[in-house]
Amino acid sequence: MSLAALPLARADDNAVFEAGLRVAVVALLTLVAALVLDWPPLVPASLGLLGGLYGVQLAVDDASLDSGAALFAAGALVTAELAYWSLEERERVRAESGEGFRRLAFAALLAIVALVVAGLLLGVVDRVGAGGLAVDLVGTAAAAAAILAIVAAARRRETGP
Amino acid sequence: MRRSRSPRLAGYGALAAIGFVAALALRRPELAIVAAPFALVLAAGTALARDPGIEVEFTLRTDRTVELADVEAELVVRTDRAVDRLELFLDLPNGTEVLDGADALAVRLRAGEERVVPLRLRAVRWGLYDVGDVEARARDPLRLVVWERRFARAQTLKAYPRLDWLSRTVPPVETQAHTGSEVARVKGDGIEYADIRDYVPGDRVRAINWRASARRGDLVVNERHPERNTDVVLFVDSFTDVRGDGRSTLDDAVRATATLASRYLERRDRVGLIAFGGILRWLRPGMGLWQRVMLIETLLETGVQPTYTWREVSSIPAQILPPKALVFAITPLVDSRFVSAIEDLRGRGFDLVVLEVDPVGFVEPGRSEIAGLAYRLWLLERETLRARLEGLGVGVARWRDDVPLEAALEEVRTYRRNARLARV
């Protein structure tokens, strides 16, 4: 909910706020459904809805660079981590003592790293401030390359006994 | 090890891709910044993920146990690389369980570490179990990639049936020639006093009953009953198994058979076994500890094999059913083929006892009137069958849930005692 609060707080118009609230509620319900039904694909769907809400809000406002993006990025990553962790814990596995704290500390560390990385990127974008077709093309190429790299890494298989 | 993706990898990939595309479409760099940590985690996770090289060994401390008794076991886990979370799933067959709780556990291992995980197992039912198949699942620190491998190194665990308490057995009508614990009906050298008779040349002096001789004015000697062993054949019905509420008639029958076998073997009797059903199994009568082990291990293989073929007693080898043997039929009295075999054995003159493992407790009467009527008819049929067997001179002991085996066998002892009196 706190993740949804960031875009909702930016809404000036009541109608936009209500629409945003509805999307946030749907996202929350989707996340709950993912955890209750043990269906992991609903986790990115839920976060995608919140991300979409944030993106649409930014587009509607047409404001300058939002410094809250770093917080939103860290929040989204931690939410996703906790949701997947919760799904993993559905199996009755007897873990060693202290694993819960370790995992929690790891999630906190990830949040800090995400915050730092997103903050750095915000700073870079703010400094560069460039625009135009060339930047768009470079951005498209970078995004496509990143997506292809992710897909290639995900599809890699190792054979073994 | 088999490498596969975790749901996290697909989810983060989708979020990163959507973020990048949306950033371009909406011309908002914030969305790319939101997607960047996901892409970073993906890049780091997939780049650092390596096959951990896990080896798992399962060892049972013993390969024989008694049902419901604890069995010590251990899992030895080795890894070449550090594993943040290694989940081990012990694939136990039905009838066995881990005593400490879950049959799955998670450990964290450093590179090159060997960990010994002690386990306590229990067999809740007698039988032969292949235990030791372990499914290992390792995850990298970012939980993006999963390595799985099944270590199929099962060991056989023999869970012997637990024995019921039994102080006395059912004595046979006739004994055999060897020394044992059963007081024979015939007279001869023994301990139990039988009668006195006139002295005849050749009688031992120590057999003379001096007090009786003084009263009679002539020498009389004591006669005694010798202690002999008996041949007992345990005839187990494996045609049918009536199950319900976590129990079954075959389970109870095997426990009763093991109890009877142990008790008779303790008395130095020769005990044999015939499992009469879809598969015919037998063990020649013998005595001693080894026979007990053989007998119980033969019992462990007993199971119901569905068959529609008619089996006859003539298919049993003659040496398995020695003359004068007491045949102990252990049956729920459900399959007509086994009932027919009992009648056939009785017709051949065998001393026969039936221990009926009562299936009535496993069967719920139906709710409808017709079902209730059918249930009552079934009970009546069973009563008729019992009466028919008793009419043939076969003692029938009903072993119900609430009756200990000792008490059930007392019914037969009483029946046989009265039957002998009637014959005299």
Model confidence pLDDT, tens digit, residues B28-53: 888 889 999 998 998 888 888 888 88
Regarding whether B118 and B249 lie in a shared domain, the answer is no
Whether A161 shows a pLDDT value over 50: the answer reads no
Whether B304 shows a pLDDT value over 80: the answer reads no
Q: Which whole number is the average pLDDT over A31-54?
A: 92
Partner residue opposite A118 with nearest CB, options B6, B37, B106: B37
Q: Which whole number is the average pLDDT over A88-106?
A: 85
**Is B48 near chain A, with CB under 8 Å?**
no
Tokens representing residue A121 in the block: 């990127």
Q: Which whole number is the average pLDDT over B343-353?
A: 89
Q: Are B92 and B98 in contact (CB under 8 A)?
A: yes
Top residue of A35, A84, A150 to mutate, by most chain B CBs within 10 Å, is A150
Q: Are B35 and B43 in contact (CB under 8 A)?
A: no
What is the sign of the dihedral through the CA atoms of B240, B245, B246 and B252?
A: negative
Whether B421 shows a pLDDT value over 80: the answer reads no
Partner residue opposite B36 with nearest CB, options A40, A73, A84: A73
Q: Which residues touch A60 (CB under 8 Å, ≥6 apart)? A: A16
Tokens representing residue A144 in the block: 């496509």
Regarding whether B365 and B237 lie in a shared domain, the answer is yes
Question: For A122-140, b where at least 16 C-beta lie within 10 A, e where not — what string?
Answer: beebeeeeeeeeeeeeebe
Residues of B in contact with A149 (CB under 8 A): 43
Q: Which helix (H) or strand (E) holds B3?
A: strand B2-5
Regarding whether B123 and B88 lie in a shared domain, the answer is yes
In tens, the pLDDT along A98-150 reads: 888 998 999 999 999 999 999 998 888 887 766 667 667 777 777 787 777 76
Residues of A in contact with B31 (CB under 8 A): 51, 54-55, 58
What is the SS3 assignment for B410? Answer: helix
Which phi and psi (to 5°) does residue B152 adopt?
Answer: -95, 80
**Is A127 near chain B, with CB under 8 Å?**
no
C-alpha span between A9 and B97 (Å, rounded): 54
Q: Which whole number is the average pLDDT over B226-237?
A: 88
| Angstroms from B158 CA to nearest CA on chain A | 27
Partner residue opposite B26 with nearest CB, options A43, A59, A140: A59
Within a domain: B166: no
**Is A121 near chain B, with CB under 8 Å?**
yes
Beta strands in A78-134 (DSSP E): 94-95
Regarding whether B34 and B65 lie in a shared domain, the answer is no
Regarding whether B95 and B38 lie in a shared domain, the answer is no
**Is B28 near chain A, with CB under 8 Å?**
yes
Regarding whether B31 and B114 lie in a shared domain, the answer is no
Mean pLDDT of chain A: 83
Residue with tokens 């459904």: A33
Regarding whether B341 and B268 lie in a shared domain, the answer is yes
For chain B, positions 132-161, list CB contacts with chain A under 8 A. Answer: 141, 143, 149
Tokens representing residue A59 in the block: 């587009």
Whether B12 shows a pLDDT value over 80: the answer reads yes
Regarding whether B216 and B245 lie in a shared domain, the answer is no
What is the SS3 assignment for B326? Answer: strand
Residues of B in contact with A158 (CB under 8 A): 1, 3, 51
Whether B176 shows a pLDDT value over 50: the answer reads yes
C-alpha span between B111 and B114 (Å, rounded): 9
Within a domain: B31: yes
Regarding whether B71 and B8 lie in a shared domain, the answer is no
Q: What percent of chain B has pLDDT over 70?
A: 96
Q: Are B37 and A114 in contact (CB under 8 A)?
A: yes
Helix axes A133-155, B29-48, angle to 10 degrees: 30
Q: Which residues touch B375 (CB under 8 Å, ≥6 apart)? A: B363, B365, B366
Tokens representing residue A13 in the block: 């118009």
Whether A91 shows a pLDDT value over 90: the answer reads no
Whether B96 shows a pLDDT value over 70: the answer reads yes
Within a domain: B28: yes
The pLDDT value recorded for residue B305 is: 64
Q: Which residues touch B259 (CB under 8 Å, ≥6 apart)? A: B163, B164, B166, B405
Whether A155 shows a pLDDT value over 70: the answer reads no
Within a domain: B356: yes
The pLDDT value recorded for residue A159 is: 45
C-alpha span between B142 and A103 (Å, rounded): 10
Regarding whether B248 and B381 lie in a shared domain, the answer is yes
Whether B325 shows a pLDDT value over 60: the answer reads yes
Within a domain: B58: yes
Residue with tokens 């009932």: B339
**Where does a domain end: B160, B178, B213?**
B160
Within a domain: B253: yes
Q: Are B316 and B280 in contact (CB under 8 A)?
A: yes
Q: Which whole number is the average pLDDT over B238-243?
A: 86
Domain count, chain B: 4
Within a domain: B167: no
The pLDDT value recorded for residue B422 is: 41
Q: Which whole number is the average pLDDT over B117-122?
A: 90
Residues of B in contact with A66 (CB under 8 A): 30
Higher per-residue confidence, B1 vs A40 = A40
Within a domain: B312: yes
Q: Which residues touch B424 (CB under 8 Å, ≥6 apart)? A: none
Whether B423 shows a pLDDT value over 50: the answer reads no
Domain that holds residue B311: 229-423
Whether B83 shows a pLDDT value over 70: the answer reads yes
The number of beta carbons lying within 10 Å of the beta carbon of residue A9 is 11
C-alpha span between A73 and B31 (Å, rounded): 9
Partner residue opposite A55 with nearest CB, options B15, B31, B39: B31
Nearest to B141 by CA among B54, B82, B89, B55: B82
Residues of A in contact with B42 (CB under 8 A): 150, 153-154
Nearest to B117 by CA among B142, B95, B98, B96: B98
